[in-house]
Amino acid sequence: MTVNVGTIDRIARALLGLVLLYLAFLSGLPLFEGGLMKILAAAVGIVMLVVAATRVCPVYSIFGFKTCRA
């Protein structure tokens, strides 16, 4: 697969993924104590971290977007 995620996009996704995982498992907020929000936040957080690590976003590939220079 072709790299299509740039550095700034990658950093933003990694930070968002970490924040979502923190909210899902460590925050103790009432909103994330229920099953649905906790699972949703954890799933999106994991996806964000995977995209940041691999630098390949399937949604960008579908629409032909690219935030990297090369």
pTM, 2 dp: 0.89
- The residue behind tokens 């690219």 is 66
Kindly give, in sequence order, each residue whose CB lies less than 8 Å from that of residue 3, ignoring residues fewer than 6 positions away: 55, 56, 68, 70
- Does the residue 2 lie in any domain? no
CB 51 within 8 A of CB 16: no
Residues 22-62: tens digit of each pLDDT: 999 999 889 888 889 999 999 999 999 999 999 999 999 99
- Does the residue 11 lie in any domain? yes
- What is the tally of structural domains in the chain? 1
The amino acid present at 7, given as its one-letter code, is T
- Does the residue 46 lie in any domain? yes
- Does the residue 58 lie in any domain? yes
What Å distances lie between residue 39 and 22, 29, 50, CA to CA?
12, 14, 16
- Does the residue 26 lie in any domain? yes
Q: Domain of 41?
A: 7-63
- Does the residue 70 lie in any domain? no
Q: What are phi and psi of 6, to 5 degrees?
A: -80, 180
